Chain A
Amino acid sequence: GAGVSQSPSNKVTEKGKDVELRCDPISGHTALYWYRQSLGQGLEFLIYFQGNSAPDKSGLPSDRFSAERTGGSVSTLTIQRTQQEDSAVYLCASSFTSGGAPQETQYFGPGTRLLVL
């Protein structure tokens, strides 16, 4: 079956522009996660969705970052007024939910490589 997909695979933008990154989770996975992988910070959690709600947004680094999920499926991560330090690989993952709780295994997409010039 299809895995987690992300688009675009690469994005180059100018400082100050807004960008949108998309994640399409595995069908039937109601839990969805965004992570960021950068040279300086390693792999870090950004936000967790259960359905369309985000019970944990604790990893979003600033109010320039936001995310939404509609229809319990596709999620969009938006970065406003991008800065050079936002350059990173943004990874999305999804997992199955049972009894209202996400299962422990997360399946990752290939990531979106963002470069802010």
Chain B
Amino acid sequence: AQSVTQLGSHVSVSEGALVLLRCNYSSSVPPYLFWYVQYPNQGLQLLLKYTSAATLVKGINGFEAEFKKSETSFHLTKPSAHMSDAAEYFCAVSVTGGGNKLTFGTGTQLKVEL
């Protein structure tokens, strides 16, 4: 079975500051890893994904994440936060052969302050 741990249910940064959202996973087989963003009263939008190709993955809106197998981590970063980045972010894992159902972390609410 797979699991995901997101450290920090709430993260606050200043506009222009580095964004770092942490995600650690557990999986007995090579995983697929995802970051999704959810704006208020909306569904989930895919930011980026890791599917065993390049370990540094670039996504939309300037976000990127690095897959580190030795640390079982897939942290999300953005060099400079923008007010529009305020949202909830979910890390998720899936594996092949199981219908690719997603197992989500508990989410991190990102607040961006002036």
Contacts and interface: CB of A to CB of B under 8 A. Distances in A.
Interface of A: 4, 31, 33, 35, 42-45, 48, 50, 55-56, 59, 91, 93, 95, 101-111, 113
Given A31-B99, A42-B104, A45-B102, A104 B44 contact: no
Contacts of B98: 56
Nearest to B45: A108
A22 B7 CA distance: 34
A48 B99 contact: yes
B106 A33 contact: no
Contacts of B42: 110-111
Main secondary structure of the interface of A (DSSP, over half): strand
Interface residues of B, number: 24
Nearest to B95: A104
Contacts of A48: 99, 101
A113 B43 CA distance: 11
A104 B43 contact: no
Contacts of A35: 102
8 contacts: A31-B99, A42-B105, A43-B90, A91-B44, A103-B100, A104-B49, A108-B36, A108-B43
Nearest to B105: A42
Given A43-B90, A91-B43, A106 B102 contact: yes
B100 A31 contact: yes
Contacts of A105: 46, 49
A68 B20 CA distance: 40
A102 B100 contact: yes
B43 A101 contact: no
Given A102-B99, A104-B49, A109-B43, 17 more contacts: A4-B43, A31-B99, A42-B107, A43-B92, A43-B104, A43-B107, A45-B101, A56-B101, A101-B96, A103-B100, A105-B49, A106-B100, A107-B46, A108-B36, A108-B43, A108-B44, A111-B43
B85 to A, nearest CB: 19
